[in-house]
Amino acid sequence: MSESSGAPAPSSLPAEFETLELRRVDRYVLMVVLNRPAASNAMNTQMGLDLTRVFERFQLETGDVRCIVLTAQGEKAFCAGGDLKERREMTDEAWAAQHAIFEKMLRALIDCPLPVIAAVNGAAYGGGCEIAGACDFAYASSSARFALTEVTLGIMPGAGGTQTLPRAVGERRGKEIVLTGEPFSADEAREWGLINKVVPPEALHEEVLAVARKIAGNAPISVRQAKQSIHRGLQMSLRDGLAFEIEAYNRMVPTEDRREGVLAFNERRKPEFKGR
């Protein structure tokens, strides 16, 4: 994994989290690392709170971050889902209160204005699979496995799994995955549309960081507007989506970056985008 550049995250984010590690890979790329390897990076209440704080903050302030990579410590697990050891003695009321935190976390992740790429380095079960599905796109280690096992535990996916997964893999495949609770491989995840690319474990992070750097090198306002146009447009009729696209497009016209991009093209040089 690349060394951190030492550049800070947005000023309002703490340097350390109990369940996460934030690494500035370079000036524009931030890596958010799930950091509970002894628990297979399972999501406890604190991780839900930590992730919510990170991704909600980016809705208010991005600093100079232009792309985020979401991954996890270790090689065996990306995220094993909700921490069932923590949940073992929970009352119904405590369970519901914790799940409200997880729901808020998923909404914060989905609503993040910056591109978020998942680097799935191991097992992504339950909520871990849902987190991967909530990212803009995902690469996976060839050793990764996926599953939504909630129906085998007397519950059902409740952190976006019944919504994001079928949107990626289709309704019939989504029903098969959710209703059986059976695990599937990284190659199957790619074939079905949940994962964009399968990478050898030792190359995963460098592969994803190369893509993140490419995105971060593009005009940041353009990237954010294009992301929103795709995401929101797919929830509209085609005609409404086209109207939304033009509203997003018109945001580019008066920007310095648009002028810089055209000038750099004509001067045959790499543009220097400033996000304004």
Radius of gyration of the chain from Cα atoms? 19
How many angstroms separate the CA atoms of 152 and 17, rounded? Answer: 32
Active site residues: 130, 150
CA 274 to chain centre: 24
Q: How far is CA 177 from CA 76, 133, 209, in A?
A: 22, 13, 29
Place of tokens 């958010």: 32
Residue type, 29: V
How many angstroms separate the CA atoms of 267 and 259, rounded? Answer: 12
Provide the 10 A C-beta neighbour count for residue 266: 8
Residue among 73, 198, 79 at smallest CA distance from 139: 198
